[in-house]
């Protein structure tokens, strides 16, 4: 690869030290974002998408901690660990300080948009006032200039009558309009990267579609890169260039968006695809993925998806696969963490199918079967019982 990516995340591990145990929320994440790209982070609730986003922003709070990995942004190390003289982990000398991240990176270089605009907007101040103040602080503009810039931004994100709306309070805006305000705020400092954490999840589909179109337009105009966090592959299809599918803190598949949809390499991605609405299927045919995602405190041995995987074999209980290149998609690596691919060579083909788990059961349940015995069994005891002999690292 000739040019350095905008953001590079390598082997990132973020854990929460709770009374119940250590939550391995992000467990060895590696991906990159190139200039002008929209990169998806997709997976079910609890996959670690938000914790990954917070880690990149330097916003992980106790009892959470980044325990491994390196994050590089524009060639600069914004996070990195090394072993100190007593073997303890400490921040590397060349990594930015918290102060530098707060003043130089957050907002100016990397901005974030969260799902709930009411958490980011103060209900007692006008929308315009908040946007103006943000621009004043971050761009060093005077009050009048900042106000003009704020009104321009409101217009830019498609808010009608921006001069009048400037004087209104957040509760006077609809959900979609509030989300547009947050996009305006994120764009206001012309950051190179915006991390959007499910910003359209709470909106109805029509409004969601409008916001996605807006982001597409703004992305083309400003060349801003995005990390788009979502549980919805439909959203991914609409705006992402490349996708990372996450399961229990790990990336299980990584590919350009068309490759992911048309040449899916991981059974979990397949299951996610089966669970999105499609015009050719009725609602009763549409099914959620069987079972529930296990807790990140005690992830299953071997492949973490094996207790829910229709393709699982004995070997999947033992071998923990790291995502490997399984296909070359026109010069773009297509990675998957599944031992059924030749790249793994651990004897998947000879390994007997697993009994008592999802092996051989279709991901799409029969209509009306509801919570049948078989399904509940799949959901039960997802951690399995063989903790010995695993090559989990």
Ligand X SMILES: Nc1ncnc2c1ncn2[C@@H]1O[C@H](COP(=O)(O)OP(=O)(O)OP(=O)(O)O)[C@@H](O)[C@H]1O
If binding is defined by CB under 5 A, does position 230 make contact with Ni ion?
no
Instruction: Choose the binding region for ligand X from 16-24, 116-124, 205-213, 306-314 (rule: CB under 6 A).
Output: 16-24
Closest approach of ligand X to the CB of residue 308, in Å: 16
- The yes or no reply on residue 43 touching ligand X (CB under 6 A) is yes
Tell me how far apart the terminal alpha carbons of the chain are, to the nearest angstrom.
29
Select the residue whose beta carbon is closest to Ni ion and give its number.
Answer: 50
Give the helix/strand (H/E) hosting 42: strand 38-42
Q: State which residue, 15 or 138, has the beta carbon closest to ligand X.
A: 15
Sign of CA dihedral 222, 198, 246, 67: positive
User: By CB under 5 A, how many residues form the interface with Ni ion?
Assistant: 2
Q: Please say which residue, 50 or 179, places its beta carbon nearer to Ni ion.
A: 50
Residue 193: CB minimum distance to ligand X, A: 18
Instruction: Compute how many residues bind ligand X; rule: CB under 6 A.
Output: 15
Burial of 103-114, coded b for 16+ CB within 10 Å and e otherwise, reads eebbbebbbbbb
Q: How far is the CB of 338 from ligand X (least distance, A)?
A: 20
Instruction: Rule CB under 6 A: say whether 50 interacts with ligand X.
Output: yes
Binding-site partner at residue 309 among Ni ion, ligand X, none, CB < 5 to 8 Å by type: none
Q: Is 46 in the site for ligand X (CB under 6 A)?
A: yes
| Biggest distance spanned by C-alpha atoms of the chain | 72
Inter-residue contact 221 to 156 (CB < 8 Å): no
Piece in contact with Ni ion (CB under 5 A), picked from 4-12, 45-53, 59-67, 264-272? 45-53
Interacting residues with ligand X between 225 and 244 (CB under 6 A)? 231
In the complex with Ni ion, the residue whose CB is nearer, 50 or 200, is 50
Helix residue ranges, H only, 89-246: 98-100, 117-120, 127-139, 143-156, 162-165, 175-188, 205-222, 233-239
HSE-CB for 103 with a 13 A CA cutoff = 6
**Whole-angstrom distance, CA of residue 319 vs CA of residue 309:** 14
Q: Find the angle CA(272)-CA(277)-CA(278) to the nearest 5 degrees.
A: 110
For position 16 contacting ligand X by CB under 6 A, the verdict is yes
Q: Does 51 bind ligand X (CB under 6 A)?
A: yes
Site string for ligand X, 63-102 (x = CB under 6 A): -x--------------------------------------
User: For Ni ion, which is the closer residue by CB, 37 or 198?
Assistant: 198
Burial 251-274 (b: 16+ CB within 10 A, else e): bbbbbbbebbeeebbbbbbbbbbb
Distance CA 345, CA 339 (A): 7
Among 5, 40, 48, 382, binds ligand X (CB under 6 A): 48
Distance CA 380, CA 357 (A): 10
Q: Binding string, 76-95, against Ni ion, x = CB under 5 A?
A: --------------------
Q: What token pair was written down for 88?
A: 């303890």
Query: Can you give the binding site for ligand X, defined by CB under 6 A?
Result: 16, 18, 23, 25, 43, 45-51, 64, 231, 296
């Amino acid at each position: 690869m000739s040019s350095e990516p905008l953001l590079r995340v390598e082997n990132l591990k973020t854990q929460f030290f709770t009374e119940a145990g250590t939550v391995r929320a992000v467990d060895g994440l590696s991906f990159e974002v190139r200039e002008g790209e929209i990169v998806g982070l997709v997976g079910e609730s609890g996959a670690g998408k938000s914790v990954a986003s917070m880690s990149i922003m330097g916003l992980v709070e106790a009892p959470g901690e980044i325990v491994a990995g390196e994050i590089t942004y524009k060639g600069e190390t914004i996070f990195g660990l090394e072993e100190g003289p007593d073997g303890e982990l400490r921040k590397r000398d060349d990594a930015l300080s918290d102060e530098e991240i707060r003043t130089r990176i957050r907002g100016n270089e990397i901005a974030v948009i969260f799902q709930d605009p009411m958490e980011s907007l103060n209900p007692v101040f006008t929308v315009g006032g908040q946007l103006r103040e943000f621009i004043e602080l971050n761009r060093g503009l005077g009050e009048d200039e900042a106000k003009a810039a704020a009104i321009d931004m409101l217009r830019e994100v498609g808010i009608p009558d921006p001069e009048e709306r400037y004087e209104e309070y957040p509760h006077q805006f609809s959900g979609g309009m509030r989300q547009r305000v947050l996009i305006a705020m994120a764009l206001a400092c012309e950051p190179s990267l915006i991390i959007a954490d499910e910003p359209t999840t709470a909106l109805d589909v029509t409004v969601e579609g409008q916001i996605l179109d807006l982001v597409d337009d703004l992305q083309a105009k400003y060349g801003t890169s995005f990390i788009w966090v979502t549980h919805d592959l439909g959203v991914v299809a609409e705006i992402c260039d490349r996708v990372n599918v996450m399961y229990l803190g790990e990336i299980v598949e990584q590919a350009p968006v068309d490759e992911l949809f048309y040449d899916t390499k991981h059974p979990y991605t397949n299951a996610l695809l089966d669970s999105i609405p499609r015009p050719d299927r009725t609602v009763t045919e549409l099914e959620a993925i069987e079972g529930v995602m296990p807790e990140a405190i005690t992830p299953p041995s071997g492949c973490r998806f094996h207790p829910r995987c229709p393709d699982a074999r004995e070997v999947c209980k033992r071998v923990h696969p790291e995502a490997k290149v399984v296909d070359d998609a026109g010069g773009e690596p297509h990675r998957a963490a599944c031992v059924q691919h030749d790249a793994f060579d651990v004897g998947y083909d000879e390994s007997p199918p697993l009994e008592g788990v999802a092996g051989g059961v279709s991901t799409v349940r029969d209509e009306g079967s509801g919570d049948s015995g078989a399904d509940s069994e799949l959901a039960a005891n997802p951690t399995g019982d063989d903790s010995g002999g695993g090559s989990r690292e």
